[in-house]
Amino acid sequence: MVSLLVGLAEFVEGDLAAILAAAIATDSIESGQLSVLAVRALLFPFQLIFIGMVVTAALWVFRRRDRFGNWVLGDSMAERISSTDLVAGDRPPVLQPERRRTLQQFLSSAIAFAAIFVAVLLGLGQFVERGDLAVVVAALTSSLTWGARLPISDYLGGISNIFENNLAVGDQISYKQVDRTVSGLVESVDLRFMSVRADTGELTSIPFGELRVFRNLSRGEHIGVYAGFPIAAEDLSRAVDLLEDLAPQSMELVPDLVEPWQPISLEGEMGAILDLHLFGKTTPNREDDLQLALHSVVQQKFAAEGIRLRVKGGDQS
C-alpha cells in the first residue's frame, strides 16, 4: 500500500522527495540538499516496488484481454432481441455472431495496448517530472509519426474497419497478393493485422494498411463467374445467337446457376480468334463447380453446331 501511494504521489506531484524534504526544517542549503537525497534514497525502493506492481498489473490485463473484451461488450444485441425469433442468416451484419467476434478481438487488442501504455507512462513518471514527461512523449510521437508511419497506417486501418464493418471474422474474402489473387477465410483480427486462411491451406497475416482493395464474398448472396471460350471470328455471330437462345434454359442445363447466363466480351478485342465469355451467378463456394459445368455444357452445344474452340496462335482445342 505504501509503494502504491508513493508511486502515485510521485507521478502526480512530480519531485516528491523535494516536497517532503522541504517540510523538514533545515538550517542551511547543504542540509536541505542532503535531506532531499536521503528522502529519495528512502523512497527509491518503494518506487521500484510500484513499477513492479504496475508491470504485473499490465501483464495480468494483457493475459486476460479477451475476458475484458467480452465483459465490456456485455450481452450481444442479437440475444436481447431473441424474442423476435430472427434466423441467424436473416440478421443484419451488425447482429451477426461474426461481427461480435470481430469487435471482441479488436477491443481485446485495444485493451492490451492501453494497459502496456499506462504501465510505461507510470514507470517513466517515477523518474521524470510530468512536464518533462509530456515533452518526451510529444517528441517521441512526432519522431515516430514519420519513422513508424506504416504501423500507424495499419492501426488506423484497423480502427476504421471497426466503424465501417467492411469485414468480420468468418468472412470469405479475395485479395491481391503480389502478382496473384488469393481467396481465403478470415480467422482472426486485431488493431493492426488480419489473419486469413487461404483456400490452399496457408495462413497469411495482412496489415490493414496494405488491405485497401478486396472482395468480400460473404456479404452477398451470389458470386459472379466468367467462363471464356476462344472461337474463330467467323463463328462469333452463330456462337452468340446460340448462347442467347440457350439462356432461358441455361439454369436447367447448369443447376449451379441462379440466373440465366449472359454472353459478353471482356476484352473487346478484334482478330482472327476472339474470346467469348459467359457470365453467370452462383452461390458462395460453388464457383469452381460452375466453371466446370459451363465449359462442359458449352463445348457440347458448340460441337453439335459445328463451332470449334480455338487456341490463339494454334489449332483447334
Q: What is the pLDDT of residue 56?
A: 92
At 109, list the grid cell: 487488442
Cell of 221: 448472396
Q: What does the pLDDT average to over 76-89?
A: 50
Q: At 65, list the grid cell.
A: 484481454
State mean pLDDT over 23-40.
68
pLDDT of residue 83: 45
Can you list the pairs that 146-155 forms with residues at least 24 positions away whose Cβ atoms lie under 8 Å?
150/207, 150/209, 151/192, 151/207, 151/209, 153/207, 153/208, 153/209, 154/191, 154/192, 154/193, 154/207, 154/208, 154/209, 154/210, 155/191, 155/192, 155/208
- The domains located in the chain, with CATH, are 2-147 (no CATH), 163-216 (2.30.30.60), 223-304 (3.30.70.100)
User: Across all residues in the chain, what is the average pLDDT?
Assistant: 78
- Name the band, by pLDDT with cuts 50, 70 and 90, for residue 59: very high
* pLDDT tops 80 at residue 87: no
For residue 232 the three cell numbers come to 474463330
Residue 34 reports pLDDT greater than 80: no
Spatial separation of the C-alpha atoms in residues 304 and 300, rounded to whole Å: 6
pTM: 0.48
Q: Which of 92, 218, 102 is nearest to 162 (CA)?
A: 102
